[in-house]
């Protein structure tokens, strides 16, 4: 008899949908260990604007993969996959169940499907491409791409130097086109995965929650948190950390663009757009069980049934 694969639970959902509350309830009742799946919670010193679980919540339910990086550092989906697999392995070896909680859908996708084997960036080749583009223009570079990789060339606009440069770089490093390489998937996840998504039934309720959360963040000193990051001098708007919703808008205000009220308004709008993108991802996701944000008890029951079924 082959040993059954260990169980892993995914708890996804748009921002402000109640994932943390549900995860904490499960952690108090079952031998689950929480792994955060959130591209903002990884950063130290970014607590209020990311709605990071507070000290009391973390004492009830410790979260792995939060506060692991300085905001000056970048973190990729591949980094997440490596770290999450290591944490999941550790949790299972302790006889517990990994519960992955968060809204960064790209991280879930990387974990579930593996990543295509793209070569790491090569600064020298990147520089050569930049230099060539400065001499000949990006239109000529785009023409080069359409000869080696017509599929990517169709998708990437000549005015998008970042993606254009990456597609050319991949070919020059590996001798294979970006299209060819992205069709090769990495290894599948060696777990029996049960996936849940939580959100309110009404979109208006989600919007209400987002606005309320933003008000609470401002009351808790969000502006001062961003001021402290701004004052460091080594952080800027091109970093993934500072581009996080909320941070970016308050940062722009600190740079002298508009009033704080305008920044808050833009932050709420950006958060709604983020939630909309997360919901779009989830709607196309397969094997999902939907839970209602306004009935956390039934969410606990539904996930409990999976845990109990697996344990027997």
CA–CA separation, 223 and 251 (whole Å): 9
CA–CA separation, 295 and 25 (whole Å): 13
Establish whether 14 is an annotated binding residue: yes
- Token representation of residue 200: 């309110």
Are 18 and 104 in contact, with CB atoms under 8 Å apart? no
- Token representation of residue 194: 């049960």
Establish whether 133 is an annotated binding residue: no
Closest CA to 95 of 33, 36, 37, 34: 33
State the residue for tokens 């987002």.
210
85-90 long-range contacts, Cβ below 8 Å, gap at least 24?
85/111, 87/33, 87/35, 88/8, 88/35, 88/191
Establish whether 289 is an annotated binding residue: no
Strand partners, 101: 11, 36
Establish whether 246 is an annotated binding residue: no
- Token representation of residue 180: 């060819």
Establish whether 19 is an annotated binding residue: yes
Closest CA to 98 of 290, 307, 285, 293: 307
CA–CA separation, 80 and 106 (whole Å): 10
Establish whether 270 is an annotated binding residue: no
Establish whether 16 is an annotated binding residue: yes
CA–CA separation, 283 and 272 (whole Å): 16
Establish whether 17 is an annotated binding residue: yes
Are 156 and 164 in contact, with CB atoms under 8 Å apart? yes
CA–centroid distance for 76 within its chain: 9
Q: What does the DSSP assignment read for 189-202?
A: PSSEEEEEEEE-SS
- DSSP label of 233: S
Output the known binding site.
13-20
Output the known binding site for ATP.
13-20
Output the known binding site for substrate.
15-20
């Amino acid at each position: 008899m082959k040993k059954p694969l260990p169980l892993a639970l995914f708890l996804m959902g748009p921002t402000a949908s109640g994932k943390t509350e549900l995860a904490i309830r499960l952690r108090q009742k079952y031998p689950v260990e929480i792994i955060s799946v959130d591209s903002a919670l990884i950063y130290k010193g970014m607590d209020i604007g990311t709605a990071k679980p507070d000290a009391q919540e973390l004492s009830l339910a410790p979260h792995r993969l939060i506060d692991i990086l300085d905001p000056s550092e970048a973190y990729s989906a591949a980094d997440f996959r490596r770290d999450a697999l290591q944490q999941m392995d550790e949790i299972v070896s302790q006889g517990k169940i990994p519960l992955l909680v968060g809204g960064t859908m790209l991280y879930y996708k990387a974990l579930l499907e593996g990543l295509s084997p793209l070569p790491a960036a090569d600064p020298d080749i990147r520089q050569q491409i930049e230099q060539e583009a400065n001499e000949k223009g990006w239109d000529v570079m785009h023409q080069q791409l359409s000869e080696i990789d017509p599929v990517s060339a169709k998708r990437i606009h000549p005015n998008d130097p970042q993606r254009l440069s990456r597609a050319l770089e991949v070919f020059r490093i590996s001798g294979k086109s970006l299209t060819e390489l992205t069709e090769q998937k990495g290894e599948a996840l060696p777990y029996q995965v049960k996936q849940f998504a939580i959100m309110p039934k009404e979109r208006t309720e989600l919007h209400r929650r987002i606005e309320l959360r933003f008000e609470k963040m401002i009351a808790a000193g969000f502006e001062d948190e961003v001021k402290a990051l701004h004052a460091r001098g080594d952080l800027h708007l091109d970093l993934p950390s500072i581009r996080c919703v909320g941070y970016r808008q308050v940062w722009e205000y600190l740079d002298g663009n508009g009033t704080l009220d305008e920044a808050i308004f833009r932050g709420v709008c950006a958060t709604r757009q983020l939630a909309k993108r997360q919901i779009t991802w989830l709607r196309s996701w397969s094997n999902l069980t939907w839970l209602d944000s306004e009935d956390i008890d039934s969410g606990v029951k539904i996930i409990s049934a999976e845990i109990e079924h697996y344990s027997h």
